[in-house]
Amino acid sequence: MHEVIDRTATFQKMAMERIMTDTRLRGSLTDEQAKQLLGWGVAQLNQVALKTEGLDDASAETMMDEQMSAVTRILRYANKLTEPHNLGNPEEEAWLTESFQSSLAQWQGYPVGTMLTQQLASCLRTGDRDIIFQQLMDMLLADSMATEIIATDRLVSDNLAVVMEQEEE
């Protein structure tokens, strides 16, 4: 058990170091934006590290590597979408938007909502990097909130079922 906890902590530390030291993930962002975006990435990978606890070492390492690549890809595309030289270039914006959405959908396990996609397109038309960044964060956090809501619903459902069983007895 102690070995699994050590491995999880090692994975969490490795993920944080990889994200914090990769300048491609934050190069065009303000310090506050970088803190928000990288914080999201670290939080996601901390959760992945916790999910490896029941796995053998080889499976855990594979899962962590795959998920770390997926998260860093999302962060890289988010950063690129705010780079000044990409703004105003419709072809580059379209390619980066598609790449970001595809990476995010792969991570989430379901497609990005049409409304969020349309909002991002509107933000890109403004050329305002702060507005674009906020929309990207809204897209990332929408998944986190949906996951939290689903988990809460399951918890409530499970607890309600237990309570109902107790009442029947």
The three-point CA angle 103-58-43 to 5° equals 40
CA terminus-to-terminus distance, the chain: 37
Contact 28, 79 (CB under 8 A): yes
Considering the entire predicted model, what is its pTM? 0.79
2 CA to centre of own chain:
28
Number of Cβ within 10 Å of residue 140's Cβ equals 22
Domain ranges of the chain: 2-168
Q: What are phi and psi of 128, to 5 degrees?
A: -85, 110
pLDDT of the residue at 128: 92
Closest CA to 122 of 110, 105, 104, 135: 135
Q: Which two tokens stand for residue 142?
A: 């929408």
Residues of the chain with pLDDT under 70: 1-4, 143-169
